[in-house]
């Protein structure tokens, strides 16, 4: 398994909220061979399990969560001349939408390409700096309304971004859905490649549903698994001129570890100690009242789950072209591997 190729494969899959099951067969085909068991559900959660060789009642269960859903849109209307209106699913940055290329999904696995219309600047009236609301944008596919209806494209059809996976200078990468497929790649890679004889826990890699619409899917598989420990992996803000320094991490300085009222202090300290001991590049970020991740939901499941957050800094978050460093994903994977081979205790 090669980490960069895994990221490319996962990031190109479609999985907007409500459609996380769409690529289930492709996802299972890609990574199931590295795991002992797969559990899926009707909500769209995907759980891949790798069990420790040592089978006894004291083997703890470690859940590593990375949400599989991504931002996107759903069709709300088809005009008589074939233009599609949409509403956002997740926090779309509408500043990036004009002239964006998309894929629209119809019945029987049909999909067509389109572009979000953009008014030429010569014709813009009024305040040119005022952005349209999501509902004001129109997708042009070139098809007539009648043709779209025949393909089963209409109210409720999913709309996903089209964006290439590209390598920039150094180990920088750009592509769609790195939020949160980058962390999914790190979690899958770590669990799939760790020496099974060294595992000191049963590892549940949970690619969860509906994080972008309310942290909902992770709660369900936590109730099913009843883990002893949980690590939520998600993206975080990378340092940039307009981003406050205390709320961000540097792209080239490894994974980020959250210090928060939400996270378990002892468990978090153990993760930091693992990083220091193994000389894994890492950085800490203070997220005092909440992390904005599935950790905010998991820590209150049943009697409470000791939860920590490991994140990957990215730029241009919630657009169709995320920017990150491969080294940060590698650091996150190394950190998770280290955690899987340590005695866990809180």
pLDDT tens for residues 134-193?
898 999 999 999 999 999 999 999 999 999 999 999 899 999 999 999 999 999 999 999
Please tell me the total number of residues recorded for the chain in this structure: 346
**Residue 201's closest CA among 19, 87, 69, 344?**
344
Say which residue the tokens 């696995």 belong to.
Answer: 109
Strand bridging mode 72-78 / 158-161: antiparallel
- The Cα 3–Cα 30 span in angstroms is 13
* pLDDT category of residue 44 using cuts at 50, 70 and 90: very high
pLDDT tens for residues 293-324?
999 998 888 888 999 999 999 999 999 999 99
* Mean predicted confidence (pLDDT) in 236-265: 88
Find the range with the poorest average confidence among 102-106, 208-212, 288-292.
288-292
Cβ neighbours around 211 below 10 Å, total: 27
pLDDT tens for residues 210-240?
999 988 888 888 999 999 999 999 999 998 8
Q: Pick left, alpha or beta for residue 86 (phi over 0 → left; psi -120 to 50 → alpha; otherwise beta).
A: beta
The pLDDT value recorded for residue 122 is: 63
The pLDDT value recorded for residue 121 is: 63
| Bond into 128 cis (ω within 30) | no
* Mean predicted confidence (pLDDT) in 284-298: 91
* Mean predicted confidence (pLDDT) in 119-137: 74
Asked if residue 128 has pLDDT above 90, the reply is: no
Domain annotation for the chain: domains and CATH numbers: 3-70+176-340 (3.40.630.10), 72-161 (2.40.30.40)
- The Cα 280–Cα 131 span in angstroms is 43
- The Cα 66–Cα 235 span in angstroms is 9
List Cα–Cα distances, 298 to 69, 87, 123, 215, 332, in angstroms: 17, 29, 50, 9, 20
**In this predicted model, which residue has the larger pLDDT, 337 or 136?**
337
**In this predicted model, which residue has the larger pLDDT, 289 or 207?**
207
**Two structure tokens written together for 42:** 């009707």
CB–CB of 193/49 below 8 Å? no
Which residues sit opposite 283 in a β-bridge?
A: 256
Q: In what order do the strands lie in the sheet containing 61-67? A: 37-40, 46-50, 202-208, 61-67, 229-237, 307-314, 255-259, 282-286
Asked if residue 346 has pLDDT above 90, the reply is: no
Q: What is the mean pLDDT of the chain?
A: 92
Strand bridging mode 282-286 / 255-259: parallel
The pLDDT value recorded for residue 127 is: 66
Provide the annotated active-site residues. Answer: 211
The pLDDT value recorded for residue 300 is: 80
**Two structure tokens written together for 80:** 């008589």
* Mean predicted confidence (pLDDT) in 268-283: 96
The pLDDT value recorded for residue 188 is: 98
- The Cα 196–Cα 35 span in angstroms is 10
């Amino acid at each position: 398994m090669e980490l960069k190729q895994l990221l490319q494969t996962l990031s190109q899959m479609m999985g907007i909220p409500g459609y996380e099951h769409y690529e289930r067969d492709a996802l299972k085909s890609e990574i199931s061979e590295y795991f002992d068991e797969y559990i899926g559900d009707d909500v769209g959660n995907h759980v891949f399990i790798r069990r420790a060789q040592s089978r006894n009642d004291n083997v703890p269960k470690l859940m590593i969560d990375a949400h599989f859903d991504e931002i996107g849109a759903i069709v709300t209307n088809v005009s008589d001349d074939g233009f599609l209106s949409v509403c956002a699913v997740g926090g779309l940055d509408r500043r990036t939408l004009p002239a964006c290329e998309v894929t629209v999904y119809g019945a029987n696995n049909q999909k067509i390409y389109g572009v979000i219309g953009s008014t030429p600047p010569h014709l813009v009236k009024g305040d040119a700096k005022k952005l349209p609301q999501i509902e004001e944008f129109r997708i042009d596919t070139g098809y007539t309304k009648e043709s779209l209806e025949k393909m089963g494209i209409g109210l409720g059809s999913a709309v996903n971004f089209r964006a290439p996976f590209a390598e920039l200078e150094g180990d920088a990468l750009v592509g769609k859905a790195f939020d949160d497929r980058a962390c999914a790649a790190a979690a899958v890679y770590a669990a799939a490649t760790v020496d099974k004889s060294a595992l000191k826990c049963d590892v549940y890699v949970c690619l969860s549903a509906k994080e972008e619409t309310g942290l909902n899917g992770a709660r369900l598989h936590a109730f099913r698994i009843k883990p002893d420990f949980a690590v939520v992996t998600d993206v975080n803000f990378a340092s940039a001129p307009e981003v406050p320094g205390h709320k961000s991490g540097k792209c080239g300085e490894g994974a980020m570890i959250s210090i928060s009222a939400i996270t378990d202090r002892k468990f978090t300290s153990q993760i930091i100690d693992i990083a220091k001991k193994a000389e894994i590049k890492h950085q800490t970020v203070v997220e005092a009242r909440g992390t904005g991740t599935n950790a905010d939901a998991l820590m209150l499941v049943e009697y409470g789950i000791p939860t920590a957050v490991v994140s990957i800094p990215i730029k241009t978050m919630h657009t169709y072209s995320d920017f990150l460093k491969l080294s940060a994903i590698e650091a996150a994977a190394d950190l998770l591997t280290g955690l899987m081979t340590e005695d866990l205790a809180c």
